[in-house]
A and B are shown apart, each in its own frame.
Chain A
Amino acid sequence: MAVTLTDAAANRVQTFLANRGKGIGLRLGIKTTGCSGLAYVLEFVDELDEGDEVYEHNGVKVIIDAKSMVYLDGTELDYTKEGLNEGFKFTNPNQKDECGCGESFTV
């Protein structure tokens, strides 16, 4: 079971965390919402919740709750730029389909 961060993503997360001045790591997760059923969660973490697992990858602490891990195993998180828009991109092998806007998906 693993989730990986590209160098670009890891660098960004570290910068953002440093900028924010607090927080222990980055939470990856999924929640049931949106037009195709599931949506990704990407949040700063100030304290751990019950059921959280902490993974360390590329110098960044990644926090994932056990339930989300089922759907995130094997995901690679990248930071990329498309035109003027830039942000984090999930590449998730569990994902079967996504809605047109790409904001929610099914497994």
Chain B
Amino acid sequence: MALLQIAEPGQSAAPHEHKLAIGIDLGTTNSLVATVQSGEAKTLTDFDGSAMLPSVVRYEADKITVGQAAAAASAEDPTNTLISVKRFLGKSQAEIEQSYGQLPYEFVENNGSLAINTLVGAINPVQASAEILKSLKDRATASFAGEDIKGAVITVPAYFDDAQRQSTKDAAELAGLNVLRLLNEPTAAAVAYGLDSGQEGVIAVYDLGGGTFDISILRLNQGVFEVLATGGDSSLGGDDFDSALVAHFKEQTQINDLNNSELRLFINKAKACKEALSSYETVNVGLELRDTAHTVTVTRAQFAEMVMPLVKKTLRACRRAVKDADVSHEEILQVVMVGGSTRMPVIREQVEVFFDKKPLTSIDPDRVVAIGAAIQADILVGNKPDSDMLLLDVLPLSLGLETMGGLVEKIIPRNTTIPVARAQEFTTFKDGQTAMSLHVLQGERELVDDCRSLAKFSLKGIPAMAAGAAHIRVTFKVDADGLLSVSAMEKSTGVQAEIQVKPSFGLSDDQVAQMLKDSMSNAKEDMQARMLKEQQVEALRVLEALEASLSTDSQLLNDNELAALRSEMQKLSDLRETATSPDEIKTAIEAVDAASSEFASRRMDMSIKQALTGQSVDEV
């Protein structure tokens, strides 16, 4: 007899049609998988009962190991044991070296993408991530008695850009998982606490893990979590707190020349001491080495003093994020604690003082992200009645297309909820134009130079037509994971071109914030520049059209008329280059229009005459 779970009223699945869904927290240091069973979200454990899978993959000639066993081998086999590959997703070698300095890996560029040389060949970060996901998937399958998993929600840091998100998605596909959605980690934590169905407002998520610190400021508005600001420190985590204790141990034991195994002992004792201090006021640490037994006593207050500089560092990042988000402390309704290091009482106290609010800590901070992802997966796969709202994400920056004159036409504005598809029609600029180059941009500014270029592609095979006669429909689609595809189609022939945007270089959260700020501080200049460019483009169009008709029909004008028109055209042509205000060009365009109106009407008469000549009245 199979084992059953309790379903929501009326949602019982037919045999073999269980809608099993999992949430995965693909972490830098540790990864977890969770699911909702009988209405309760819980993390799934391995056979040893541990929920956390170290995000470590070891490649050997005949096998691949993931997790604890791989982590244990990292010292003896550093080049084939890949640790924290999440940091490398969607990054170039140069970026990695700049951020992390010397690493034990041999990086190679493989078809423009980064890979690490191992015993079994070049392994890219996506493949290594896929191994971690596969291991979690196997654990889930075993927990569901071998039944298929319908889908997974995978969490990513809020600051992950398109390239990093796409890499995560690729890894999931490689692991054979159907990705229902990528979810921002802070959003997942907020969901775990049920904040998505709570009061609308601002939520802060304080995430202090083993090696990284992230602070995110979210705003919940009509069921949508918008990321207002993110910040943090990619090299600050629980390990640094251990180091502070190790320094203290050295001082107390007067042993400063530790060898590797002694250092390992100190670090392990420090970790245990730190964890014990979350439950006890005083901890005695026994350190036996070099035939001497040392006992070091650490009180909670001493520890707090030791690590205060680290805690203050996180709070400074919090202050910056709150400022970037442009919200006041009073507006923050809830503070969510994520990451094992937030168990430390000193952290909880200081965060409470800083935000003047008791942080939410009732869910295990190591598991809260996975649990939120599982809840979201359960809803997405259809195990809940429709009345439960779907959580949506929004675009952080506008997406647009370059148009003539280096201007950006925004197709999807920022803060649009995703998934979304928007289309707009464009046309050709020149007579007989048979191809069109499309340049996809991201950003809030009006000029191409000030926005970020995402991709370029061209639509070829447009039939030769007069300028402005072709109808080219450009469609921007952003899927639920924030990934963009752009397609262009010429409507009369149906010729198409399409591109998936997988930008190779990411934007950091700071850059996104800077781009937003720039767009606001430069709003007036940008608008002015845009209008000037628009008039320059219009002037060019008028001049080219006139030039084309003059080349065939200039005999319709006498010398004086022609000279007058030529002079107005020259004036416009000069002004186009030199004018600083759009109005100057506009006036000159109007002057050319006026000077050419006689020419235009004579051309009209002539073409009517030509059309009618030699035809009887009846035929017309």
B9 within 8 A of A: yes
- Main secondary structure on chain A at its contact with chain B? strand
Kindly state the separation between the CA atoms of A16 and B4 in the bound complex, as whole angstroms: 14
Q: Is A42 an interface residue (CB 8 A)?
A: yes
Within 8 A of B (CB), among A35-92: 35, 39-46, 80, 82-91
CB distance from A79 to the nearest CB of B (A): 9
Give Cα A83–Cα B44 distance, bound, in whole angstroms. 12
Cβ A89 vs Cβ B1 within 8 A: yes
User: What 1/0 flags go to B1-21 for Cβ under 8 Å of A?
Assistant: 111111111111011100000
> B107 in the interface, Cβ–Cβ < 8 Å?
no
Contacts of B39 in A (CB 8 A): 16, 19-20, 44
Closest chain B CB from A12 CB (angstroms): 7
Q: How far is the CB of B517 from chain A (nearest CB, A)?
A: 42
Q: Is the CB of B3 within 8 A of A85?
A: yes
Q: Do B15 and A19 touch across chains, with their CB atoms under 8 A apart?
A: no
Residues of B within 8 A of A102 (CB): 1-2
Contact B139 A84 (CB under 8 A): yes
Q: Which listed residue (B4, B8, B142) contacts A87, Cβ 8 A?
A: B4
Which of A34, A42, A43, A88 is the one whose CB lies under 8 Å from B10? A43
Q: How far is the CB of B513 from chain A (nearest CB, A)?
A: 38
A20 and B144 CA atoms in complex are apart in Å by 21
Report yes or no: A33 in contact with B15, Cβ–Cβ below 8 A. Answer: yes
Give the docked Cα–Cα distance between A27 and B1 (Å). 19
Complex contacts, A27 vs chain B, CB 8 Å? 9
A103 in contact (CB, < 8 A): yes
Question: Do A84 and B1 touch (CB < 8 A)?
Answer: no
Q: Are A43 and B11 in contact (CB under 8 A)?
A: yes
- The listed residue with most A CB atoms (<10 A of its CB), out of B1, B9, B11, B44, is B1
A86→B4 CA distance, assembly (Å):
8
Which bucket holds chain A's interface residue count? 35 or more
B139: chain A residues at CB < 8 Å are 84
Most chain B CB within 10 A, of A13, A85, A88, A90, is at A85
Chain A hits for B12, CB < 8 A = 31, 41-43
User: CA A101 – CA B148 in complex, angstroms?
Assistant: 13
- Tell me the complex Cα distance, A26–B6, Å: 8
Which positions 1-58 of chain B face chain A at CB distance < 8 Å?
1-12, 14-16, 37-40, 44-47
Contact with B along A91-107 (1 / 0, CB 8 A): 10000001101111000
Number of residues from B at the complex interface, CB < 8 A: 28
Q: How far is the CB of A5 from chain B (nearest CB, A)?
A: 12
Contact B44 A82 (CB under 8 A): no
A26: chain B residues at CB < 8 Å are 6
Q: Which residue of B lies closest to A88 (CB)?
A: B4
With beta carbons under 8 angstroms apart, the residue of A42, A86, A103 that contacts B6 is A42
Assembly CA distance A12 to B39 (angstroms): 11
Chain B residues positioned under 8 Å from A45 (CB to CB): 9
| Residues on B with beta carbons closer than 8 Å to the beta carbon of A40 | 4
CB neighbours of B8 from chain A (8 A) = 43-44
* Complexed CA–CA distance, A31 and B40 (Å): 24
A33 touches B4 (CB 8 A): no
Given contacts A16-B40, A83-B142, A103-B2, contact A43 B7 (CB under 8 A): yes
Given contacts A33-B15, A101-B15, contact A88 B9 (CB under 8 A): no
A85 with B38: in contact, given A34-B15, A101-B16 (CB under 8 Å)? no
Task: Indicate which residue in B15, B44, B46, B145 contacts A39 across the interface (CB closer than 8 Å).
Answer: B15
Q: Are A84 and B5 in contact (CB under 8 A)?
A: no
B9 contacts across to A, CB distance below 8 A:
27, 43-46
Please state if A98 and B3 are interface contacts (CB–CB under 8 Å).
no
Q: Is B143 an interface residue (CB 8 A)?
A: yes
Does A13 contact B6, Cβ atoms closer than 8 Å? yes
Cβ–Cβ contact A16 & B38, under 8 A: yes
Residue of B with least CB distance to A12: B38
- Are A88 and B16 CB-contacts (below 8 A) given A16-B38, A16-B40, A19-B40? no
With the chains together, A41 CA to B6 CA distance in Å? 8
Interface 1/0 per residue, B138-173 and A, CB below 8 Å: 010011110000000000000000000000000000
Cβ–Cβ contact B4 & A42, under 8 A: yes
Q: Please measure, in the bound complex, the distance between the C-alpha atom of A44 and the C-alpha atom of B39, giving whole angstroms.
A: 9
State in angstroms the CA–CA spacing of A76 and B507 once bound together. Answer: 58
With A and B bound together, what is the CA distance between A46 and B8 in angstroms? 9
CB-based nearest B residue for A38: B15
- Shortest CB–CB separation between residue B327 and chain A, in angstroms? 30
Given A16-B6, A90-B1, A104-B15 in contact, is the A84-B47 Cβ separation under 8 Å?
yes
Cβ B2 vs Cβ A101 within 8 A: yes
Cβ A87 vs Cβ B14 within 8 A? no
Shortest distance from the beta carbon of B362 to any chain A beta carbon, whole Å: 12
CB-CB under 8 A from B46, the residues of chain A are 84
Q: Are A44 and B16 in contact (CB under 8 A)?
A: no
By beta carbon, the residue of chain B nearest A103 is B15
Return the chain A residue nearest B39 by Cβ.
A20
Report Cα–Cα, A88/B139, bound state, in Å.
20
Chain B contacts of A33 at CB under 8 A?
A: 14-15
Q: Given A16-B38, A19-B40, are A85 and B15 neighbors across the interface (CB < 8 Å)?
A: no
Q: Measured between alpha carbons, how far is A90 from B2 in the docked complex, in Å?
A: 9
Contact B6 A44, beta carbon cutoff 8 Å:
yes
Checking A19, A89, A91, A104 against B3 with a beta-carbon cut-off of 8 angstroms, the contacting residue is: A89
Alpha-carbon gap, A35 to B44, bound state (A): 30
Note all chain B residues with C-beta closer than 8 A to A98.
1
Chain B nearest CB, measured from A100 CB (Å) = 10
CA–CA, A27 and B15, complex, Å: 17
Q: Which chain A positions have C-beta within 8 A of B143?
A: 84-86
Residues of chain B contacted by A42 (CB below 8 angstroms) = 4-7, 12
CA distance A99 to B436 in the complex (A): 61
Pick 5 A–B contacts, CB within 8 A, sort by A: A15-B40, A19-B39, A20-B40, A43-B11, A89-B3
New A-B contacts (19) at CB < 8 Å, excluding given A46-B9, A84-B139: A12-B38, A16-B6, A16-B39, A16-B40, A19-B39, A27-B9, A31-B12, A39-B14, A39-B15, A40-B4, A43-B8, A43-B12, A44-B6, A84-B46, A87-B5, A88-B38, A90-B4, A103-B16, A104-B15
7 A-B pairs with least C-beta separation: A87-B3, A103-B15, A34-B15, A102-B2, A84-B143, A84-B142, A85-B145
Q: Which residues of B contact A (CB under 8 A)?
A: 1-12, 14-16, 37-40, 44-47, 139, 142-145
